[in-house]
Amino acid sequence: MLTISLAEPVPTPFDFEAAARSHGWSALVPFTWDAAAATLSRVQRLQSSGRVVRLHLREGHPNGSAPFVAVEVETVEPLTPGEEAEIRRAVRRMVRLDEDFSEFYELCAQAEGWTLRVQPGGGRLLRCPTLFEDIIYTLCTTNITWAGTKRLVERLTALLGEPFSGRDEWRAFPTPAAIAAAGPEVLRQEIRLGYRSGYIWELASAVAEGRLDLHEALEDPTLPTADLMRRLRQIKGVGPYAAATLLMILGRYEHLAVDTELVSHVSKKYFGGQPASEAEMRAVYAPWGRWQYLAYWFDAPD
DNA sequence: TTCCAGGGGTAGA
DNA sequence: TCTACCCATGGA
């Protein structure tokens, strides 16, 4: 077994722990968060080669040099340059090293009467290495408790994910091809994805067969958000909540994901525990414009 | 037993 | 665009 160390440069300010932990994704396998070591780990199957590696990310502690994310790669064989490049891209995507939050920070500094829990360098919400994985995670958060979401993702990974170095307990998130090959009945009866089974199987099949290129269709920074929203809603199983969540994943924060958590928070904090209409709830965060998802996300409970 | 969860599709208006 | 109604599963 080899351990290869990489250092990925980060923008300033940057808060690694906030990036890893502000979003619930870090609690979904194959992510694990080690609080004592402040380390985010993930078993990862590299798309370029099919090799499965383990990644361990933590904050670099430079002596006078530029800050970085320290990446340890556990691998059975040395990495090719292509594999190393893929890992660096995955790290940059996961903790959003290429996203500019300066306007959001300025708004936070000027926002009187708001108590947003954002530290300098915060605001980054963890993503998966690929959009496909983010979409499956998101579909597993609809109409279910958070404990249920964790169970679904655990079973999906345990049954269909590829193990790292023969270790059953360390499996990568399943590929579209593995989910497609399993078929909707396995998803329904063994992984117990319920009514999500058909949606997830359809999406995985479309990606595996090359009928849908998620990166090409949805990760185009020049595409207007309204068009992105339309494309996301064409995915079966993606409704208003999931689409807004995925727009957040894509770095577009102008739509609120209205779910029971948001309803509960807004009712308690702004309406004295009384019910409010969706329009009234949206109006609370409307002043934040294209940053309203983050304003809600980091809004202090009371 | 019943309700409902970090909702969404479909049909019908 | 809005509203009923149905959809699987599991915890409370």
Mean pLDDT across chain A: 96
In whole angstroms, B12 C1' to A21 CA is 44
A272 DSSP assignment:
T
* Sequence ranges of chain A with CATH classification 3.30.530: 2-99
Do β-strands A163-164 and A68-75 pair in parallel, antiparallel, or remain unpaired? unpaired
**pLDDT at res. A63:** 79
Closest nucleotide C1' to the C-alpha of A245: B6
Report the Cα–Cα distance between both ends of chain A, in Å, rounded: 49
* Whole-number pLDDT of residue A215: 96
Q: Coil, strand or helix: which one is A2?
A: strand
Confidence of residue A302 (pLDDT cuts 50, 70, 90): confident
Assess contact for A258 and A281: CB atoms under 8 A. yes
- On the question of pLDDT at A57 being above 90, the answer is yes
Tell me, in Å, how far CA of A263 is from C1' of B4? 15
- CATH 1.10.101, applies to A2-99: no
Residue ranges matching CATH 1.10.340.30 in chain A: 131-249
**A82 C-beta less than 7 Å away from strand C:** no
Strand B bases within 7 angstroms of protein beta carbons: 4-10
Average pLDDT value for residue range A14-38: 97
Q: What is the mean pLDDT of residues A271-278?
A: 91
Please give the single-letter amino acid code of residue A178. Answer: A
Q: Which residues touch strand B (CB under 7 A)?
A: A 24, 141-146, 148, 195, 199, 233, 235-243, 257, 259-262, 297
Nucleotide with the nearest C1' to A194 CA: C8
* The pLDDT of residue A64 is above 90: no
A145: which nucleotide lies closest, measuring CA to C1'?
B5
Spell out a b/e string for A56-87, using b for 16 or more CB atoms within 10 Å of the CB, else e.
Answer: bbbbbeeeeeebbbbbebbbeeebeeebbebb
Q: Quick: pLDDT tens for A121-163.
A: 999 999 999 999 999 999 999 999 999 999 999 999 999 999 9
How does DSSP classify residue A27? G
Fold for A131-249, please state it. Endonuclease III; domain 1 (1.10.340)
Give the residue nearest to nucleotide C7 (CA to C1'): A195
